[in-house]
Structure formats: structure tokens, C-alpha cells
Amino acid sequence: MEIGTLHTVATAEGISELDRPGHEIAELSAHLDAATARLLDLIREFDARGGWNNGFRSCAHWLSWRVGIDMGAARERVRVARALGALPRLADALARGELSYTKVRALTRVATPETEERLLAVGRAGTACHVERIVRGWRRVDVLAESRETARLHKSRAVHVYQDEDGMVVIRGRLTLDVGAVLMQALAAARETLYQRARGTDAGGIPRDVPAETSSMEQQQADALALLAESALHQSLDPGAPGERHQVVVHVDAPVLADPEAPGQSVLEGGTHVSAETSRRLACDANRVVMRHDTDGRTVEVGARTRTIPPALRRALHHRDRGCRFPGCDVSFGQGHHIRHWAQGGPTTLSNLAMLCRRHHRAVHEEGYQVEREPDGELRFRRPDGRPLPAVPPSPAIPDDPVPALRARNEAAGLHPHARTAMPGWLGERLDVGWAIDVLHPLAVGHQFPSQQEEETHVT
Ligand SMILES: [Zn+2]
Ligand SMILES: [Zn+2]
């Protein structure tokens, strides 16, 4: 039989034989999209309730581990799931199988509750390729509008400092978000230092001549700002050598490192107390200088600075572990964790080391997660309650033919997608992206787009 004649052999239902599988593909795809909507609902809820937050860095990391999809796809699902929470029309169209996940994914990159309706119409009318091109154009208008807004805000930055009638100095200002964040962080750090200083004085039993007053948050902020200004002048506004700038110095009594329950102190340079477990984590992989103190606390001997894990061993560790070993983590760099801490006599050898990222190093030291090396050399992780954390979870049971189950579930939910549910309204016209955005985008100011011809040449 000639292939060409297949198209013309119509069956009793009026569907040709070759059309039938096509029909089935379209129908099943619509069912899958409807099921994807349900899946995204579940992910959104799981994410919001923090169901993934038992040792995983994020909902996407959990999803990648549990479901076995790559991190890019996992992040995208979580993003789309979150976005659809505020976009009921798009969510609904996906749930009815009217818009494919591909289109919804593209549209959620730009849609807001205000523009959702218009973008839904774009999704219904165009092919996936049209939708992708419109979204790309839309983003360009968004980015331009955003940079205009950022420039406007940056221009309005100001700090006014003037003296009031009663002699007090008044400060009033506007800072951009990032500078504001730095300032707030610095104020918080200065408040903490002042708090620790005050507590240290109390603990020292030095009698105060003035009764301690509890100061308000605003007063504490004022004191913190004073400390910031003093420190800035003291440091001649020089942030120091790059290598030393972000160094954290911890002073730990040796018995505390060996046994967190032991009496002794672990304090940050500057006096902030840290928990014994935190000091153990920081010491796990660090530069260390051993100092010996006499009974009065005077330093009598200072050893040479050494790395806890020598460079050659660290390279071997990187080569063996290739990143964090915590189940489901894909961070490709990390710190060397001593499975048995060196302060407790654990050797600094490959078999006693495991690479962990910063997040999971904290999980193991401060959050009660446990890691051991089995006799066969494999690592075994346990949750704080002692239950093992499997490296790869078992797959759920799936019926032999999942399609009828999927169909039945959608029908039970009142959804009846069919082969034409997701058909675009496009009749084959050429798409003029520039014109479409000018008409649709609320912030489009016209002529932000190359003409049709230019765009076509860029695309090809
Ligand atoms: Zn460690
Ligand atoms: Zn990790």
C-alpha cells in the first residue's frame, strides 16, 4: 500500500487510520497537562508548608532527589507552582488541559494578576513558539520599565543630617535596597556587640553606679549607629586585607572541642558566645593556632598556624567526593567534615573525612543529623530522630497501564480534556511580536521593538 493513500482511508467515525494515533497523542497530552496542574498544586502546598525542610536545601532539591528530575526542571516546577498560586486563570486553563504546561511555564515568567487575562488569550490563540516569542518581547519591556524605575529610585538616594533646635542631630534619608540591607546588617551586628558587652559587664559582677535601664529599640539603634561611626573612623574606613576581611576567629577551650558538654568557653573574637557545636563545626576544617594559657589566662605559648586538613589531603577529598555527600545535595564544593572530630582523637585521613556543603555541615553539627561510615566504606546519614536518610528513595507503585487511571481521575474531577482541548486558535497568520506587545503590554511605550524583519533575522 502507498503511504499517501493512508490519509484518505476514512473509518466509520470519519477519522482516518493515521489520524487515530495523533488523536490519541493529543488527548493523552491534555490529560497529562490536567494532571500536571494537580501536581503543581501539591508542590505549592508542600513548598509552603515546608515539607521538604528536613535536611534539604530547598523544595527543588527535595523534588530532584525524590522524583528523580534534574535540578533545572525541579526549580522550574517550583517556580511555576508558586507563580500559579497568584494566577488563578492560567492555573485553571492548565487544569482543564486547555493550555499546555510549556505555554503556562512561559506565560508565568511575565504574568501578573493584572496582565493574566490578556496573556491567557495569547496562550489560547498562539502556538507554543508564538507564546515563547511574545513572552521574550514582554520581558524586554518589563526589564526596560524596571531599569527606568531602578534609575529613578537610585537618583532619589539621600541622607540629610542637620541639627535640631534642641541641639540633637537629626538624620533622615532614603537608601536603595542593597545599601539599606548593608546598613541594617551593620546596625544589627553593632546592637549585638553592645548587648554582649553589657552582658559581659553584668556577668563580671562589676557594680554599676547607674541602675541598668532597659533601652527601647530606637535607642539601641542610636547606640549601634554611634558604634558604627566610631569603628569606621577607628579603621580609617579601610576594610582590611581581602584575605582577613571575612575571617571568623573563634577562641575555644580545648576540652569544649573534644566534648561539647565540657565546661569552658567558645567565643568569637569580640566576645560573642557561640555554641560548642558551632565551634566544633568551624574547627572541623579551619586554620588553627594552638595557644597555651597559664592558670591566670595569660598566653604562654603560641604554635604555628596550620591547616586542619592539609592541602594535598583536601585535593584528594575533593577528587573522591566531588561535592557535598548529603543525600539529594548537588553543591559541588564544600568543607571537610571529620566524621569523628579531630578534637576527640579522630584522625585527619580520607576515611574519616566527608565533604559537606556549608548548609549540610551545619545540619550535621548543629541540627542533629548524623553521618557514619559503614564498614563497606559507604556513608550513612540519619535524621535527628535516628531514622536513616536513604540515598535514593524507592519508586512508588504504578499500575501496569497508568493511562486509564489518569483518565478516570481527571473525569472524576469533572475534567474532560479531548484531542482538541489544547488546539491554538492560530489560523496561520504571520506573528508581529512588536505590534502584539505594543497592544498588550500595559507599560509598552511603542517602538521598543525592532521591526518584524529585524526580529526575524535575529531569530534565525
Ligand atoms: Zn564537621
Ligand atoms: Zn549539601
CA of 360 to the centre of ligand 2 (A): 5
pLDDT for 200 equals 65
Task: Measure the CA–CA gap between 273 and 257, rounded to whole angstroms.
Answer: 14
Q: Ligand nearest 334 Cα, by number?
A: 2
Mean pLDDT, consecutive 10-residue segments, the chain of 460 residues?
Answer: 41 64 88 94 95 87 89 94 96 93 95 94 91 90 80 87 87 84 87 80 46 76 89 62 48 73 67 72 77 69 76 90 86 88 87 90 87 90 86 70 84 85 80 84 67 42
CA of 280 to the centre of ligand 1 (A): 7
Q: Ligand nearest 335 Cα, by number?
A: 1
CA of 285 to the centre of ligand 2 (A): 15
pLDDT for 8 equals 41
Residue 34: other Cβ atoms inside 10 A = 24
CA of 63 to the centre of ligand 2 (A): 15
Tell me the β-bridge partners of 251. 267
Q: Ligand nearest 337 Cα, by number?
A: 1
CB of 257 closer than 8 Å to CB of 251: no
CA of 270 to the centre of ligand 2 (A): 30
CA of 197 to the centre of ligand 1 (A): 30
pLDDT for 12 equals 47
pLDDT for 356 equals 92
Residue 112: other Cβ atoms inside 10 A = 12
CB of 231 closer than 8 Å to CB of 308: no
Distance in Å from the first CA to the final CA of the chain: 39
State the pTM of this model: 0.56
CA of 276 to the centre of ligand 1 (A): 12
Q: Ligand nearest 325 Cα, by number?
A: 2
pLDDT for 459 equals 38
CB of 415 closer than 8 Å to CB of 95: yes
pLDDT for 294 equals 67
CA of 279 to the centre of ligand 2 (A): 19
CB of 335 closer than 8 Å to CB of 311: no
Task: Measure the CA–CA gap between 150 and 143, rounded to whole angstroms.
Answer: 10
CA of 369 to the centre of ligand 2 (A): 12
CA of 78 to the centre of ligand 2 (A): 19
CB of 62 closer than 8 Å to CB of 328: yes
Q: Ligand nearest 348 Cα, by number?
A: 1
CA of 333 to the centre of ligand 2 (A): 9
Cα–Cα separations (whole angstroms), residue 443 to 115, 402, 434, 450, 453: 11, 46, 13, 17, 23
Does the CA dihedral 380-381-387-388 come out positive or negative? negative
Question: How far does CA 428 lie from the centroid of its chain?
Answer: 41
Among 56, 101, 57, smallest CA distance to 83 is for 101
CA of 242 to the centre of ligand 1 (A): 25
CA of 94 to the centre of ligand 2 (A): 34
Q: Ligand nearest 280 Cα, by number?
A: 1
CA of 358 to the centre of ligand 2 (A): 7
CA of 250 to the centre of ligand 2 (A): 24
CA of 248 to the centre of ligand 2 (A): 21
Tell me the β-bridge partners of 16. 10
Residue 213 phi/psi, 5-degree rounding, is -110, 145
CA of 339 to the centre of ligand 1 (A): 7
Q: Ligand nearest 285 Cα, by number?
A: 1
pLDDT for 453 equals 45
CB of 331 closer than 8 Å to CB of 324: yes
CA of 337 to the centre of ligand 2 (A): 12
pLDDT for 14 equals 56
Burial of 52 (0-12, 13-18, 19+ CB in 10 A): buried
Q: Ligand nearest 371 Cα, by number?
A: 1
pLDDT for 181 equals 80
Q: Which residues contact 188 (CB under 8 A, 6 or more apart)?
A: 224
CB of 354 closer than 8 Å to CB of 325: yes
pLDDT for 293 equals 67
Q: Ligand nearest 61 Cα, by number?
A: 2
Say which amino acid occupies 378: E
